[in-house]
Structure 1
């Protein structure tokens, strides 16, 4: 069953059949417009009579009624399947959790020593993230061979509505590819700061899973899902984030210093409109507005939307 409305070719064929008294031979219609014929039959606007291989036009009002009934019946079936699916997939869920050690989420620290398995575990945690990814990346320049891939991952995460914050150390400021990358991801909506203090490599996904090195040479990692431990690591990250410096990555990359945010958006924010109201007023998605607001927050050093709005209002005076 199709749920697409008839297109121009479908409508033309239907009108022609109606103009002929509502009847056309099957072979003639198939020779003239085979795809339109099939779609009209699927939609219920034509009926095929196998006895004499003819087609009869059906009133659109009747067809819509029948289609609606079929859609409602299929919808009920889909709802039933949605209810039954978790139970049907439970054996597979158990196999997954058994393989990856995720049976008890209340207290779990899993050590991984194989580098390939570590990378796989990180990608797996990234794919399961839905709200936020926090990253502390010590050292200087980021590995250049991975920057383009990381940029695409960042684009996908932000497009999915996942908030991203990353900490670098000052060595990143002296590496042109890293500063260009930071400027690019800042344009997309990620927030990147620099902390001039020693800190440990850390990844936190949705404040539920944390990954830290389990050896000084980073050859092993601990995947942590214990809520208390993860909460403590989030607190450490937030403490470091608050002390970290906001960087004008665009200036370092030799680019204009503008925020890239439409001026009409800043005007609406200064007027006190909410994110949802701004999106409606500018005919933008809330996700797009959220990305613009993240850039503004980073540019002005504002931690909350309220603080950002206050700064916008002060600047407008």
Structure 2
């Protein structure tokens, strides 16, 4: 049964209310029986000696809400206990996959035993996602993520729970985006949910390659431009090289906060005109300001979107919503 009454249940309940809060057997058609049974089960109709009486929806809502909140608390407590309950099984799993993990390891080395998802190319998108989710769940120290291009907000929502779980375990999560990715308010909200739990985000307004690095032991890179295939790398030299590439990009990137501040009204108006194909001079004439003023706003827009030319900026702005 769903949490909310369906159309047939609502119609029958309203009929009872219009009849003075009562339903008699002769008021019902055979087709009303399923809705009647559902309303009784929900507590919205109470059986009497002569028929049924309508109950207060507020009282029913309070009662159901109390039970749902109680159940939610129980589930949260269960979720908190689950890692500890499964801890012995997880350690046995790790030991079976990596016998002797932890022995004879140099001091200060990253324990990579829990993140080795197997090297090689994976062609199936669902399998790629499954392996990445496994790497996130088994990560012990840090995740490095270079994510060029726009970020689909649905994808961010899908992995939010596992990212927050990673951060709550005390792992580090550092991500580099391009400016265009943070132009979407929905993406900004998703980023804020992660940074609020300790994730670090920077923005780099230049081309770079997509990659994920887990505990500096496993790296994941695209195997094709469509990103339908991925390569999982475990060679220490290769992974170290990719991690160094990330650190180089991270050092050149700027904190995401500079790109999350909303642009001024004038900057937005200039962006709209650029998106319509107007030149810098035409924009200045339309708004009655100097070309120098327009150039300053265009410079801010270029920084925000990572555009190197006016044409590139106009092309990126065409994909924005300008209500």
Q: TM-score range by the shorter chain?
A: 0.3 to 0.5
